[in-house]
Amino acid sequence: MSWLHIVVLLPLIFALIIPCIYRLHKRIHLGWFVLPLPIVLFIYFLTYIKTTMSGDTVMQEVNWMPKFGMNFDLYIDGLSLLFSLLITGIGSLIVLYSISYLSRKEQLGNFYCYLLLFMGAMLGVVLSDNIIVLYLFWELTSFSSFLLISFWRTNQRSIYGAQKSMLITVFGGLSLLGGLILLSISANTTSIRTMIDHVGDIQTSPFFILSMVFVLIGAMTKSAQFPFYIWLPDAMEAPTPVSAYLHSATMVKAGLYLVARMTPIYAVSQGWVWTVTIVGLITLIWASLNATKQQDLKGILAFSTVSQLGMIMSMLGIGAVSYHFEGAESQLYIAAFTAAIFHLINHATFKGALFMITGAVDHATGTRDVKKLGGLMTVMPISFTLTIITSLSMAGIPPFNGFLSKESFLESMIEVTHADILSLDTFGILIPIVAIIGSIFTFVYAVRFIGQIFLGSYRPQSLPKSAHEAPKLMLIAPTILALLVIVFGLFPAILTSTLIDPATSAISQANSKPSSFHLFYGFTPAFFATLLIYIVGIILILTFKYWVRLLRMQPNKLQLNYWYDTTGKYSSHVSSNFTDSYVTGFTRNNLVILFTSFIVLAIIALSLTPFKL
């Protein structure tokens, strides 16, 4: 077993040890014992940057259950390294933030056990080369996230959100399992690297389309794409460190990772290109519209997260167009992969900070209701400054990092209209239009987020607590992320050759040209699209109270949550009646049912088993 295997297993081992430490050392906050682990893991993964920059990869193999095709093989390339650094880097900041956010009166042993369990599961997902092992870690993320979301188990909304996320993501996980099984049958291997090397055999398989559909369902449920996004807003009932970790940098990005990893296998299908792109754009515009009408700070961030995930998903779809061209024309669309990777990093920085600031505001005022907040600029000046930086980055305003990736996003959406693939050169005109509309409402909810908390009149009588600035320890993590927002915006070259280009090459399976990002590219179509976004966005902000009423008039039956709740109640009622019909409470009846089932199953098994006299 290599050091890489030990690194992946360390969080899982610590998850078992931490509750014991909690029982012995309750005087010291348990987070201080946990914090060194993700920091050490982050430093360890940093040592692989030179390897991936040179185009090399690392494969560490362990023959676990080779007869079942389950080898614990770990693979590091630009893509898996990027996600590993996000998981451990953001994880370190989350643990630091949680030390101030969570009181020692909380069940910290359980919290950090679940958090480390999740961290190890995420590392297993992004580093596993074996699809069966990847699936096991994939389901472990669903299980551990259920425990984290329901951490405050006395809160019925927390239980509801945890059950909802579990049902939807496990449904997607089962779909993913079916797709991976069909994929392994088609390729006669369970290794992702081997599949990519022999992709021709998979693409001629009769299971190709069916496996693609199943894999996409698994990815879309985990990354909260339309129509499966409904679990994420309810998951906001979790403690803020959980929301900041799972829903900005890790769990929801697992679906994006899966799409990126499987692109070399499925991108040859035009169905893959269209499905990933269209689902991403629908998610972007639908969630951005819903984010503008939310009145809870976490609700705004939940729908904004969904919209940003849709944005990244659509860029992965546009990037897949590169597989249908060669040479210089292919490079035009590979740029969409580059933009997707850059925005994935940027989203982790500004959204992680915004979640933490929201937690700080809730901690300082006792509420997240925007109708009660306002005028906190002078009361919480540090939080105000951090919110300005990160919200404007999310809005796509220079010189912050979100502006650079947003410009690249618009450029990719406009460039793809020239591709003569499945009428992209005709119907494709709708792609940049939808992208611009989604970006307009992103601008609206990002800018309003600042005003709803910190501008306007200060109303101390409406706040449950006397407002004050958040504790210094609580502000360290969002301050680090806000600084990264500025640094990556002014000096994007720090990321291009080290992380972005190697990750792009891993997705495109080609030596893509070195990427570069600038604050001004000239008077390009993307520049004028950005001006349009700013102008229309400002107008919508000034007239917000007039048009937001239309969004809030949405009939209940047109909401996906209504159908989820209705279906759940109906299925529960039917199953209860059916169970009551044969579970009568009499032991004799139960034994008759039990043994009858055994006999019927035995007869079926024998009838299907060939035997000789």
Candidate from 42-51, 297-306, 592-601 with smallest mean pLDDT:
592-601
CA distance 204 to 194: 16
Query: Is the pLDDT confidence value at 422 over 60?
Result: no
Phi, psi (5° rounding) for residue 74?
-115, 140
Query: Is the pLDDT confidence value at 491 over 50?
Result: yes
Is residue 17 within 8 Å of 81, Cβ to Cβ?
A: no
Tokens of 312: 């990244």
Tokens of 132: 């069966």
Say what percent of the chain tops pLDDT 90.
72
- Segment 38-53 shows an average pLDDT of 96
Is residue 232 within 8 Å of 560, Cβ to Cβ?
A: no
CA distance 18 to 216: 36
Model confidence pLDDT, tens digit, residues 9-24: 999 999 999 988 888 8
- Segment 93-99 shows an average pLDDT of 96
H/E stretch holding 75 reads strand 74-76
Residue 62 burial by Cβ neighbours in a 10 Å radius (0-12, 13-18, 19+): middle
CA distance 107 to 225: 33
SS (H, E, C) 504-573: HHHHHCCCCCCCCCCCCCCCCHHHHHHHHHHHHHHHHHHCHHHHHHHHHCCCHHHCHHHHHHHHHHHHHH
DSSP 59: E
Candidate from 49-58, 138-147, 229-238, 604-613 with smallest mean pLDDT:
604-613
Query: Is the pLDDT confidence value at 252 over 60?
Result: yes
In terms of DSSP H, where are the helices of 248-400? 251-266, 270-292, 297-319, 327-365, 381-395
CA-CA-CA-CA torsion sign (180, 181, 187, 190): positive
Tokens of 290: 């819903």
HSE, CB side, 13 Å, CA atoms: give it for residue 227: 7
H/E stretch holding 124 reads helix 108-127
- pLDDT of amino acid 611: 54
CA distance 264 to 152: 42
Phi, psi (5° rounding) for residue 367?
-150, 155
Query: Is the pLDDT confidence value at 610 over 70?
Result: no
> Does residue 502 sit in helix, strand or coil?
helix
- Segment 326-342 shows an average pLDDT of 89
CA distance 183 to 542: 52
Say what percent of the chain tops pLDDT 70.
98
Model confidence pLDDT, tens digit, residues 376-413: 999 999 999 999 999 999 999 999 999 999 999 999 99
- Segment 112-124 shows an average pLDDT of 96
DSSP 499: I
Query: Is the pLDDT confidence value at 35 over 60?
Result: yes
HSE, CB side, 13 Å, CA atoms: give it for residue 68: 8
Mean model confidence pLDDT for the chain: 91
- pLDDT of amino acid 567: 85
Higher-confidence residue: 44 or 519?
A: 44
Q: What is the pTM (predicted TM-score) of this model? A: 0.93
Is residue 417 within 8 Å of 425, Cβ to Cβ?
A: yes
In angstroms, how far is the first alpha carbon of the chain from the final one? 49
Confidence of residue 138 (pLDDT cuts 50, 70, 90): very high
Q: How many residues does the chain have?
A: 613
Distances (CA, A) of 471 to 357, 385, 456, 460, 476: 11, 15, 24, 19, 9
Residue-wise DSSP of 180-243: HHHHHHHHT-SBHHHHHHTHHHHHTSTTHHHHHHHHHHHHHHHTT-TTGGGHHHHGGGS-HHHH
- pLDDT of amino acid 613: 43
CA neighbor of 83 nearest in space, from 205, 222, 209, 256: 256
CA neighbor of 132 nearest in space, from 183, 197, 177, 186: 177
Model confidence pLDDT, tens digit, residues 121-135: 999 999 999 999 999
In terms of DSSP H, where are the helices of 366-495? 381-395, 401-415, 430-454, 472-490, 493-495
Model confidence pLDDT, tens digit, residues 341-385: 999 999 999 999 999 999 999 989 999 999 999 999 999 999 999
Is residue 82 within 8 Å of 342, Cβ to Cβ?
A: no
Is residue 218 within 8 Å of 258, Cβ to Cβ?
A: yes
Query: Is the pLDDT confidence value at 498 over 60?
Result: yes
CA neighbor of 311 nearest in space, from 418, 243, 403, 405: 405
CA distance 435 to 422: 19
CA distance 456 to 466: 18
Query: Is the pLDDT confidence value at 102 over 60?
Result: yes
- pLDDT of amino acid 23: 84
Beta-carbon contacts of residue 516 (< 8 Å; ≥ 6 apart): 492, 493, 496
- Segment 290-305 shows an average pLDDT of 94
CA distance 477 to 491: 21
Model confidence pLDDT, tens digit, residues 423-432: 666 677 889 9
Is residue 101 within 8 Å of 239, Cβ to Cβ?
A: yes
Query: Is the pLDDT confidence value at 304 over 80?
Result: yes
Confidence of residue 556 (pLDDT cuts 50, 70, 90): confident
Report the relative pairing of strands 74-76 and 58-60 from DSSP bridges: antiparallel
Phi, psi (5° rounding) for residue 128?
-70, 130
Helices 208-222 & 251-266, crossing angle to 10 degrees? Answer: 160
Is residue 481 within 8 Å of 347, Cβ to Cβ?
A: no
